[in-house]
Structures are given as structure tokens and as C-alpha cells.
Structure 1
Amino acid sequence: MCTSDSIFKNLRQKLDVMGYNQTLPLAAVPIVGAVFEDLFFCVKAFINIIVLKEKSSWELGAEPYKCDNSRLLTECNQLHLQLIRQKEDSEEQINELHKKIRDLETDKSHLHKQCQQLQNQLGSIQSKTNIGVVKSGSRVEKGKKPFITAVRSGDMFSSTVNLLQDHNIDLRCTKCNAGFYRRHDDATQTKSIEKDADKWENAKLELMENIKFYRNKIEAREREISRLNELLSGGRAPNILARECCYKNIGSLNEDIDLLQREKLESLARIRECQHQMHEAMRRALNLEKFNRELQKRLDELKDAALSVETQANNEITQKEMEIEQLKQQLQRLLNKIKVQNEKCKENQKDEKLQKSNHSKEVQVSVQMEKHRFNEKLNELTQKESELRTENDRLVKKLTKLKNKLQASHKDLQLRHTQHLDEDKIRLKSERDFFQKEYLRVLNKLGSESEIDFLQSQIKSKDEELRVLRSEMCLKQSQALVPCVKGNTDFDNLPTSLPSSARSGASTGNSDCVQAVILRAERERDCARNDLERVRCERDTLREKMLSMTKMHDEQIQKVQCRNEELNRKLHQAERENHDLISAHKPSEIQIVLLKEEMDTYKQQNNKLREENSKLQSTYNSLKLLHEQTERSLSDSQNKLTLSESQLESAKARLNAVDSNRESSQQEAIQLRTEVAALKQTYVALEREKDKILTQLDLKTEKAYQLEYELKASKEKRNHLEKQVHDFEQQLSKLTTQTHERDSELNENSTESKSLREQIAALKISREQAIMENARLMNNLAESQAEITTLKKLLKDSEGEIMRLKQQLRQYVQEIKKAEDLLMHKEKEREEMLEHYRSLSHDAVMLEGSNQSLENEAAECRRQLNELESENHVLKKELCSRNSLITELEDKLTSQQVQNTCLKQKLEESLDEQRLLETDLTARKELCRKLDVEKDKLNAELNELNDVRKNLEAENEKLRLEIERTEKNKRISSETLEELLSKTRHDLEEQIKMDSKLSQELVRLKQTNEELLIELDVERQKRQQHETLMHEYRIQNQELRHTLTDDRFHQARSREQSPRFHTKTL
């Protein structure tokens, strides 16, 4: 009775609260209670409907704000991208300006060094000329001896002395000139080597600046990515953004991600290439340093040898001068004896007058013949001088033409360089825009990963609900027995209970529904647990791999940093040494200007010499007794010409040696190109492996999407699938548009490739023409330089000869005056001349003996010269042996360099593996993120199951109340219970029908989804085909560029070789 009273009191209180004050009979208590509970549930459902309507209205009102927010975000991102572009453009301009400044500084240093060299050369030339003038004056003073009465005897002895002195001077000059030419060739070699070192240093600095530029670019991109990630993490949840976003474009984002990864790998490859070029530049700089040291050693050795030879020659010359002085003393003694004999011969003078007159006539005829011959030789020399002047003028004109052509070629090169830079800028801008689009697509794609977290949260909630349901089932079974006993004891006076069929139907219906729900929940739970365990295992393995990889990466980074520090230190040392080398050289343009000035001075000197020659020709008519000395001077000049021809042959031999060195350098360049081709092949293989990994990642992502679709609930699946169908339709439309765009781009690329090929053909023709012109200009320059050197030598020789002739003329004038005095006293001394004639015969015999002694001395000098030549041959053999040792050392160095390159390649392979592992780690991190999103989604589903569980608990409470009411009022509420049971059965049947319809709709949506996925796969395959075509076209373009550069190099080499043979033939 207590329970029925409590139920009645509760109903009464609720009715009073609601305002129903009517009387309540006991028989109407269960009906009124049921009606009241129905009213309560209706009110609750109505409140929920109102809340949902308000929520939908709020969402509709918030949608425009969401769209505005997304639009503002896109504008903000565009502004950031514009800022990044402007920064990159400014950095590119700064790099270009630095490059120009560096080139100008190198040119300035070269010019300054060449100015210093030319100043030093001028000082040395002036000092040499002053020394030569002083020596010639001293020799003239030595040559002046006391005049003797006999004219012929004095002339003969002075001519012999002058010839010996001239021979000694020629010996000195030839040796000095040989040393000069050797030093000059060595200097030219060092200049060319230092210019190459400067070029490699400039290339190295350019590569360093490019690496810094690309690193800054990558850092800016990473900052932009981190900024956008912070925007995502700082705002709303990514799953909500993915549901509410109005600008979803999943397909384009995937494509953009792939392109970004490819571009990243390409940039890494470029960085590797730049590093490889830096290593090559370092290696070449070290080789150049070694070569410079070897050249310095050779120069020192040659200097020592030249000094030793010069000292020996000077010693020999001093000995010869001492011997000549002794001979002069002997001649003076003989002259004194002749004076004594002249006094004796005065008596026999009258008899010999007739004989002497006849002899004088014969001498005059011979002198006239010699004069005529000497005049012919002078005419020939004047003709040669005129020819040399015409050739000099022609060479000056050629030099001016060559300068004009060089300036025009420099301008053309600058224009081409600017065009290439503009093309590179346009290409980089297009790539940057493409990367930005890819990045936005990736950000939009991240919204789908938040659904995984939601599913994981639902799985957890479902597990908890299953556990609670099982506990409640146990409680229900225990409680179902207790009320039955109470009903039998308390309600004996009431009518009989319900029939057994009704009770069994009610209990079986409720138990079947609950068991079906439990079984479905258990299945979903087991599936989710299996997925979670699999994901956890993968996560653990990935974490372990991440730890090991991070450790390895840190160690490798430390090693690489140490190596980079060592390399930087070596680079600084090399730069310092290169700057020191650069400071020792000077440009060639100032040298050309100075040479022009020297040419002008030489022209003025030639004019002066012409005037003096005209004066000398007037005096030569009066000089009859001096033709023998002029003939001897001409023979000396011929000897000098032969020496100059031998020097020219030696210079040609050195030029051939330089050409052989050039061929060896070209062979080294070909080897380097083969190494570059091998590196390119490795790069292509790495790109193929990258494509394979990307395909594997696509397969994994497709599997992850399949798991996401299987984990979703029925109602949410339907809504989500409808949205996906709509999105997929949009994506298909976009993909079709993209395919059309790609086709158009392919057509454009094909047309561009055709135009590039045409341009390449035109460039080849122009390049060949330019090579021909350059070869011709180089030949002209070489000819002009050789002619200039010969002219300088001839001018120096002519100056020396003119000074000597002036001195001789002075002596001749003095002797002529003395001869005139003697002719005044000739009649008085006829008798003395007869005696003198007799003495002269004796003197002639003595002179023949002295000539024989001088010839013996000349033979001894020749023998000494032969000994010196044999010593030179020995020294040359030693030089050849040292050169062979140097070649062996260079071979060893090349082998070590090959080993170093192999080690570097292994290092690069290890770095590539590390990068591949890093890419795998990033992919697995993305998978972990996706799984976390799935987990969140499952948690959300579990929360929904909790709500269902709460609803079930409320229903269980209702059932308990109904069971209690039925037990108390079996007779009164039997009909009402049957009606309620029929209604519930009917509702259950309707729900089952609705569930079957929903399942059919789900099947249909799955089929449509599968069809759309198939279409997506087809479109992806098409896209991959287009990408492969694009990649092939790029490779073809690169190959064409490489072939173009190779053709240019081979043609330039052939053009460089062709003028070489031409010069040899000349």
C-alpha cells in the first residue's frame, strides 16, 4: 500500500502544480500517470525542436561571417606572398649588383697591377739604356789611342779592336735576351693561371651567394607555413573549419602538395650541384696554388742558371779584354819599332816613289768599288725601313678594328645576359605562384584529418556505453524476479494478472531490441579496437624510428658542420693567397697605351735617324779608307739578324708548348663534363625513386580514406556522403578544367620547344661566325705582337749601330784632319816613306803573326762556347727529368682527387638516404595526425552513443514504472497495456522499415561514391600521364641545352685549334 500511496501523492502534487485541481479516483491513476508522462515527453521534444531551430537560424546567420573571414584570410595570405616576392626580387637585384661590383674590383686590381709592372719595366729599360750609354762612352775612350804618323797602320789596329769589343757586346746581349724571353714566357703563364684563379674565385662567390639566396627563400617559405599553421591552431578546430569552409578544393591541394615536394627536391638538387661546384672550385684553386709554386721553383732555378751563365760570360769577357789590352801594348811596342825603322828608310824613299804611286792608284780603285757596294747596301736598308713602317701602320689599324669588334661583342654579351635574367625571373615567379596555390590546397586538405579524432572519441564513448548496458542488463534480470513475488503477495484481492502470451511478447520484444543494439555496438567496438591497436603499433614503430633517425641526423649534422668549418677555413686561406697573387699582376690595356707611346717615340727617333743618315751620307763620300770597317759592321748586323731569327724560332717552340698545355686543360674540362653527366643520371634515378614513393603515399592515403568512410555512423554518413558527392562533383569539374589547362600548357610547351630549337640553330650559326672572327682577331693580334717585338729589337740594334758609327765618324774626322796635315808634308817625307815602306813589309809580317794569334784566341772562344752549350744541354735534361717527376706527382694528385670525389659521392648518397627517410617520417607523421583525427571522430561517435545510452536508461526507467503499474493494476490496465504494446510494435516495425530504407540509401550512396572514386582515379592517372609528359619535355629541354653548350665548346675548341695550324704554316 505504501507504494500505491506514494504514486498517488506524486501524481496529485504534479497535477496541483500544473493547475488541475479535479478529484482523482484510484482507478484512473495509471491512465492519468501514462497521460502525464506522455505530456512530459512531448514538452521535452518540443523544447528540443525549438532549440534546434534556433541553432539552425544562428548557423545561417553566421555563414556570411564565415565566408567573409575566409575571404579576409585569403587576402591576408596573398599580401604575405606579395611581400615575400618583393623581398626575393630585391635579394636577386642585390646579388646581381654584388656580382657586378666584384667584377669591377677584379678589373681594377688587374689594371693597377699591370700599371705597376709597366712602370717597373720602364724603370728597368731606362736604367739599362743609361748603363749602355756609360759603357759605350768608356769603350770609346778606351778605343782612343795616340795617333801614329802612319795612317794605314793605325786604322787597321783600331778596326780590329773595335770588332773585338763589338763581338763581346754581342755575346752579352744574346745571353741577356735569352733570359728575358724565358722570364717573359713564365710571366705570361703565371698571368693566365692567375686570371683563371680569379675566374674560379668569382664563380665560387657567385655560388655561395646563390646558396644563401635559396636558403633564405626556403626559410621564408617555412616561416609562411608555420604562420599558416599557427592561424589554424589559434582559431577554431580544423574539423569545424573543414565542415564550414566554402572554398574546399581537395584535388588541387593534392596536386599542389606533389608539386611542392618536387620543387623542394629540385631545390635540394640545385643546392647539391652548387656545393659540388664549390668543391670543384676549391680543388682547382688548390691545383692552381700547387702549379704556381712549381712555376716559382722553376723560375728560381732558371734565374740561378741564368745568373751563373752571365757570371761565366762576364768572366770570359773580362779575360778577353785583358788579352786585348796586352795586344794593344804589343802593338804600341811595334809602332815604336816602326818609327825607328822609318828613320832608316828615308834613304831608300826616292827609289820607291814610283812603286808607291802605282800602289796608291790600285788602292783608290778598290776603295771606289767598296764605296759603290756600301751605297747599295744602304739603299736596301732604307727600303726595309720603309716596308717596316708600312707594316707598322697596318698593324695599328688592325688593332683599332679589333678593339671596336671586342666592344661590340661585349655589348652583345651583356644584352644576352640581361635577357636570360629576365627569363629566369619570369620562371621563378610562376613557380612561386604555383607553390602558393599548392600550399593553400594543403591547408584546405588538413580539415579532413580532424574527422579521425572525432571517430576515435566516438569509439571510446561506445565502449563505455556497452559496459554500462551490460551492467544494467544484469540489474534488470535481478530486478525482474523481485517485483513478481511482491505482486503475488500484495495483489491477491485484485483481479487476475495478464495472460502469459502478452507478458512473454513484451519481454521478448524488449530483449531482442536491446541485444541487437548491444551486438551492433560490440562489433563496432571490436573493429575500432583492432584499428586502434594497429595504429598504436604503427605509432610506436614510427616513434622508435623517429628517435633513431633524429640521433643519426644530429650526428651527421655535427660532422657536416665540422667539415664545413674546415672547408671555410681553407677557402679563406685560398682567397687570401689568391688576393696576394692578384696584387702581383697588371692589366694589358695600359701596356698597350704605353707601347703606343713608345712607338711614337721610336717614330720620332727614326725621323731623327733619317736626318742623321742624310748627313752621314754626305760625309761618306769623303771617307774612302773606312769601307772595310763598314763591311765588318754589316757582317755583325747580319750575325745579329741570325741571332734574332733563332730567338724567333725558340719563341715559336714555346708557343707550341703553350698550345699543348691548352689541349691538356681542354681534356680535363671534357672529363669534368663526363662527371657532370654521371651526376645528372643519378639525379634522374633519384627523381624516379621519389615518384615511386609518392605513389606509395597515395595508396596509403586512399586506404586511410577508406577506413574513415567505414567508421562513420548511419545518419552522419548519409549527410557527409551527400556533401562529399557534391564536393567530388566540384572536384571533377575542376579536374576537367585543369586537364584542359594542362593540355593547353603542353601545346604551349611544344611550340616553345620548337621555337627554342629554331633559336638554337640560329645561335649556332652566329656562334660559328663569332668564333671565326675571334680566331681571325687572335691571329692578327699574335702577328702584330710578333712584329712589334721584332721592330723593337731592330730599333735597339739600329740605335746601337748608330752610336757606334757616330763614334767612328768622330775618329775618322780627327784622322782626316791629321791626314791633311800629313799631305802638306808629303813632299818633304817621300824619302822617309820609302824607308817606311820597307819597314811596313816587316810590319805586315808581324801583323800576320798577330792575326794568327787572334784567330787562335777566337777558336778558343768558340770552344768555350761549345762547352757552355753542352752545359745548357745538361741543364735541359735535368729540367726534363724534373718535369717528369712533376707529371708523376700530378698523376698521384689526380688519383687522390678521384678518391675524394668517390667519398663525396658516398656522402651525398648517405645524405640522400637521410632525406628519403625524413620524407618517410613526414609521411608517417601525417598518417599519425590523420589517425589522431579519426580517434577524435570516434570519440565524438562515442559521445553520441552515450546520449543514446542515456535515452535508453530513461526508457528503462519508464519500463520499470510501467512494470510496477502493471503489477499493481493488472486487471484495470490490461487493455491499456495491450494498446501500448501494439503501438510500440508498430513503431518498431516502422523503425525497422526506415532502417532498411536508410541502409538501401547508404548502399546506393556507397555505389555512387565508388563510381566517383573510380572517376577520380582515372583523372589522377591522366594527371600523372600529363606530369610525366611535362617531365619528359623538361628533360628534353635540359638535354638540348647541354647539347648546345657541348656544341659551343667543341666548335670553340676547333676554332682555337684551326688558327694554331695556320700560324705554324705561316
Structure 2
Amino acid sequence: GRGKGPKDLNFTTFKEKEQGKRKNTLLLLVVVKCFSFFLVLFPFSLNVVKFKSFGPFPLPWKSPIMGYETESIYKSLRSTLDELGYHQALSFDSLYLVKALVADLIQTTQSLKHYKELSQKTLSKCNELEVGLQPYKEDNARLVQECNRLHKKLIAQKDNHEDAQKELKFKLRQSESEKESLEFNTGELTARLADVEKECLKKNQRIHELQNVILKRHPHRNLTSSKSTWGGKGDSAVTFESKLKASTSLDSTVHLLKQADSNTKALRGEVKELQQRLDNKEYVIDNLQTKLNTRNTEITRLTSLLEGGRPVAAVIQDHTGDTVTHPTCIQSQMFCTCNDKPAAAQAQGCRFTCLEQRNSQLEKKLKECLRRQHDAMQHALRLSDKNKMLEVRLKSVEQSKDSEKASKDMTELQNKISSLTKLIEDLRKENQNQQNQGRYTSTKTKTSFTTSKSERESVQLREKVEDYKILEKDLMSEIDRLERENTLQKTYITELEYKLLQCLNSKEDLERAVKVKDALRRDAKEQGGGGGTVTSTTCDTEHRFEGLIKERDHYQKEYAFIVDKLTAIPLRTHTVSRELPLNNLSNLILERDEYQRQSESLQHVSDNRSDTVHCELKRRLSDQGQEISHLKHKYRLLEQEYADMSSLKTKYKFLEEEYRREKAGFTSSRQEPFTRDEETDMSARRRGGSPNIGTGVDLDTYLNLQEERDRLYASNVKLQEEKAELLSRLKRVQIDACSMNEDRIRSLESERCHLISKQTELNSRLGELEEENRGLKRKLYVHENELSEERNSLNSIRRVQEQTDQALLSFRKTHDNLESQIRELKDQNCRLDAEKDSLVTQVESLREDNARMRSCMMSLDGQKDSILMTLDSKIDLISRLERDMCSKDSKIEQLEDRIAKFKTTVDETLNLNKRTERELKLANSEVERLKVELNN
């Protein structure tokens, strides 16, 4: 419930005044009754005066008709009359009449005293309340305005507090997500450190094993000749270099795997960012929903303020106790019918009828405002339906991918908007001209009715101007929305093109992998004829190669799955490259994304005024994206060649290990027969015989073994030559790839410098656009000043309307003469309405999506104005009631003067009655004396 404000205090004071008026009327009734009583007594006294005798009136004590009761009544009545000062004679015939009159007189005198005291008390209270009522009247409107202003501030503070809380919650979630990501990164880094330490230990152990193998092979170097030193320094150095190169190849693969991990982390980070953006948008939607709810509650509160005042019929019912039925006597019908009222009361009733008519007009206006609000809500629902239809149409446009048609539509819309802005400016000028004409007509007529008409016309014109402003804002918002949708269509097209390129690249990679696999199988088949050991090694290499291909396919599937997830996220303009292992290329891609973001921000700031510059930027960015995709393709080719070389390296490594095993077995088998031959030769020489006696089979085996050794040595030499060729070839490929990458990096750096220079140009362009924005803000400030001036003029017109309302009663006689002028003004108004309707039909096609908040604000302003008008009307009513009370007080004073005059006349009549009674007593005494004389 609300507290007791100044409006309620005014009502209580008004009620107390009405009660005082009722008491005054009761006093008047008592005085009238007293006067009628004296008028009844006056003829009786005149009849008594006719006797003209000076003796006392004979007392009817001993009348036979009188009984005991009448005697007691007579005695009590005589005593009361003597107490009251009425010493006249009392006859038996008028006994009961005089008794009733005396009782009525005592009752009326007592009630007169009582009501006089009450009237004095009420008059003192009324004066006190009138003294204290004036400041409340003055402060009423101010307090209401301050209350509304404080309520608005409180709502704004609540909104700010909720926004701050939501921002803090969003920051807290961001910090929590960053904390989780950092903890995840630290866990991965610790795991990687443990893996690196393990790899370092394994590599150290491998180095120690290789050193032990070299030390074991070193003492056998002098056993053979210089020609057959296959395990000498040269071979060991070559094998060590090959192992080092193999380890470098493994490092490169590890580097590629790490880079793939980093790409997956980047993708996860992007997913988290997108999730955070989605959460932020949800928070914004919730905030806007809460604000809308608070706005609706504010609207309901302001509408409830309209129901704060009491109607006039309720006040009359409080005074009378019954409903008033006569239309001309709503406030004047207190205690009697309309026919019995004096002329002043009828005039007062006419005033109250005027007030009731005014109140009914205000109620009609309020109903019309509510109807307009309902129409505005229906219009908003229609606009939402149209918005959904437009969204469906835009989706169809996105599916059709007709970007050229969209650009043409945009140009057409811009042309339409420019034409509409011109039309709106023309309408504004016409509205100003019409306002000037309305002011001129209002000053020309100088009457209340014509001024009210012109004010209504001006209010209608202002409402239409506001509607046109709302239409303008609707059109601007529609333009912005269409431009955003156009940008979304373009980004969707670029995404589709990028996906097509990815599909093509994946197909080419698969084809290359199949070709490499076929080539490796052919090489394995060609080398399969060179002994059982070589075939076994090739089978092992094929199995390992197939395992590597399976792992490569598994990683490719995972990468495709991640790419599908990222592409499923909507409104993502460009994806970051996930396969480039070079940091320079990744940096260039990041710079490209930054330039794209900057171009989008410039597009939003410049308000569609630098389309050509943005088109050039987008074209260059698309060219750069194509060049980067071309570089990706080249790098994939190089990577494929590198994979082929690494597979050849692994194959050669396995062959070399197999050869070492065979060589080690051969050396062990060769040394044993050699030692046996030496022992037999030494024993034979000691005995004195030849070494070949009885040992023919041993010599044949020895010769066979030497031949096999020479054959194996020749094959070893061939393998070493092939290895040297492959190494030289690999070095050449690596040098060519590095040179190509360096050249490409230099070209990209030069392009980056060029783009940076373009960025400076764009920044300068942005500064110019900001200056233009400042100029537009200045213009907006000027227009706002003009609007405030128009509002001031509207307030002045309202003041003039109040003055004219006060002077309306004096101009009723000229009503017949002004009817013709009113008809002419109505005709003009009809013509203006017809013109306005034609203009509205032209602009209605563009009046679609933007009258929601403005309509709410307009309804609030209208309700506030209606509240203020009702308050002003109530204050005027209170002032008029105060004037009526003053007039009634003056009437009461006149009636009191009349009562005083009546009292003087009554005193005079009483004196006359006393004289007549004395004369009657004298006459009675003379009559008795004469009777006595006659009897004597």
C-alpha cells in the first residue's frame, strides 16, 4: 500500500469542509424553525392585545371542566413560562398548544446552542486547515515529480548493480576457465618433461651401447688386410652419421607430433572461447529480460497512479448518503430536491456538471490512450511475425548463395532509405510549417475553444512527427540488420569454399599415400630376389610401414573429427590452419585473422560508409588465404617427400642392421676355421709333414668361404654407395625445401609490411570517420535542443490552455458566432488528415521493426502527462471548491445577520406582547371593578 501523500491530505481537508457546510445548513434549518414558531405566536399575541384591559387575566382554577391533570399541567406550564420570562395570561383553550410550543422552543434553543458551538469549532478548524493547505497544494506536483524521478533512479541503480554482478560473475568464470586451462597445461608440461627425461635416459644408454660396440670392434681391425677392412673407421663413421641423421628424423617427427598437439590445444582454446561468448550472450539476454520486466512493472505503477483520485459522484454520495440522479444538481443536491434550491445552488450545480463533463472527457482520453497502447502491442506482434518471415527469407538467401543479388538488394535498400530520409525531412519541414500556422491561428482567434482546437491539431502533428521519427529509427535498424546478414552470408560462403579446399587436399594426400605405398611394395618386390635374409628384412619394413600408415590414418581421422566439430559451430568466419608446422606461417595466419577482425570493427564503426575499402581488404585477405592454402599444399608435398625419404631411411636402417647381423655371424664362423687351420699347420710342421696331407676337404671349404666373403664385400660396397647417393639426395631436397620456405617467408613478410601500411591508412580513415561521427553527434545535440524548445513551447501552450479553460464560461455567448469558424477548422483538419493518411500509406511499408521501446516510452510519457493533467484538474477543482466555501461562508454570515434582525424583531414583538398583557390586566381589573360596582 501507498503512504498518505499530499493528495490524500487535500481530500481529508475537503471532507472536513463539507462536514462544516452540513452543520451550517442544519443551523439554518433550526433558525428557520424558530422563525416559523415566532410567526405562529405573533398572531396569537395580536389577538390578545385587542382586549386593551389593564387588569390580570382571570385564572381558571375553579372551572368545573378542569380536572386534576389539567391543573397540574397548567401549574407546570405557568412556572416554565415564568422562568422563561413570559408573564402573559394563559387560557385553557390554548393550554396543550402552548405546552407543545414551549417544548419545541426549549428543544430548538438547546439544539441552537449546541450547533453554534459546533459551527464555531468547525470554522476554527477550517481556518487552520486552510492555512496549512496552501503549501500542500504547492508541493503536490513537485513531490509527485520527485517521487517518479527517485523511482527512476532506483531502477537505474538496480540495473547497474545487476550489470556489475553479472560482469563479475562472467569474469569469475573466465578466471576459473583460465585456471583450468593453466592446470591442464601444467599437467601436460610435467608429463612431457617426464617423457623427455625418459627419452634422454634411453638415448644415453644407446650412446653407451654404441660406444661399447665400437670398442669391441676396434681390436679386430689388424687381423685382416687393408683391402678387407669392412669394419674400419670409415664404415663406423658412416654408420654413426646415419644413426645421427635417423635420430634427427625422429626428432622432426616428434616435433611434428608436438605441433599437432599444440594445434589441438589451440582448437580446444577456440572451443572454450566460443563457449564463453555463448555464455556472455545468454547473460546479456537475461539482463535485457530483467530490464524489460522492470520496465513493465514501472508502466503498471504509472497506470495505477491514474486511479489515485476519487470521482465526484463518490464525494457526493459521502455527503448525501444517496445517489444523485439529477444531471444539473450533482454537487448542489444536499438535503432537498432541485426544485426547492435557490439560484446560487443551481449555478453551483451547473459548475459541477461542467466539471463532470471535463472528467468524462479525460476518461475518454485515457481510454483512447489505452486503446492506442493495445494497438501498439498488436503492431509489435505483427512486426515480430514479419521479422520471422524475413529470417526465413534470409535463410533461403543463404542457401542460394546469391551474394551478388544480396549486394544489389543492399544498394536498392540504401537508395530507398536515402529517399525515405528525404521524405522524412520534407515531412518535418511541412510539420514545422503547420505548427507555425497553428500558432498563428491560435494567436489570431484569442478564444478558448479555437485555442484548444489548434492545440489538439498541434498535438496530433507532434504525434505524427514522433511516429515518423520512430519509422526512421526502424529503417536504420533494418538497414543494420540486413548488412549484418549480408556479412554472415559472405562468411558462410567463405567457410564453404574453405571446406571444399580441405576436402580436395585430403583427397590428394590419400592419393599420394597410396602411391607411396605402391612404390614401396614395388621396391620390396625388386629387392626380394637378393637372398632370404633381404626378403625377411623387407617384410619387417613393410609391416612397420603399414603400422605407421595406420597411425597416420588414425591421426588424420582425429583431425577430421576435430575439424567437423569446429565447423559445426555457427557464424565462424575463418578457421585457423591446423597442419602448418612452421611458426612463421602460423604467425602470418594469426595476423590475417587480426586484420580481418580490424576490418569487421571498422565496418561497424564507419556505419556502411567505407564499403570499397572493406571490399579491397576482404579481397586481399581472400587472396592471402588462397596463397596460404597454396603454401600448405606445397608444404604437404614436401612433407610427403620427406616421409618417403624417412621411410627409405628406415628401410635402409633395417637392411643395414640385418647386414650387420649376417656379417657378425660370418666373422665368427670365419675365425674358427682359420684358427683350426693354423693349429693343424703348426702341428704338421712340428712333425715334419706338409700341411695339405689328409686335409683336402678343409682347403675347399676355406676357398668357398673366401669367395663368399668377397661376394659379400662387393654387395656391402654397393649398399654403401646407394646409401651415400640417398643421403646426398636427401640433403639436396632439404636444402631446396628450406630455400623455398625462406623465399616464401620473405615474400609473406613483405606482404605483411604492405598490410601494416594499409592498416595505418585504415586507421587514418577510421579517425576521419570518428570525426564525422562527432559532427553527427553535434547535429544530434542541435536537434535535441530544438526538440526541448518545442517542448517548452508545448508547455506554454498548455498554460494558455489552462487560462482559456478558466475564461471559457465568459465566452459562451460568442459560441454561435464561432461555430462557423469551427466548421472551417474542421474542414482544414479533415484535409490535413487526408494528406497525412496519404503520407502514412506511403511510409507504412517501411514501418516494421522498431516501435517497441519507443512506443513504451511514449505511452509512459502520455500517462505521465495525463497524470499531471488530472492533478492539475484536481487542484483546480479544490481551488473552486474553496471559492464555493468562501461564498457559502459569506452567505452564512448574511443569514446570521438576518437571524440577528429577526431576534430584534422578536424582542420588539415580545415587548409589544408584554405591553398588551399589561393593558389586558388593567382592563380585567377595571372589568372586575365594574362588576363589583354593578353588583353593589
TM-score by length of 1: 0.26
TM-score by length of 2: 0.29
**Largest Rg, 1 or 2:** 2
Structure having the larger proportion of residues in helix: 1
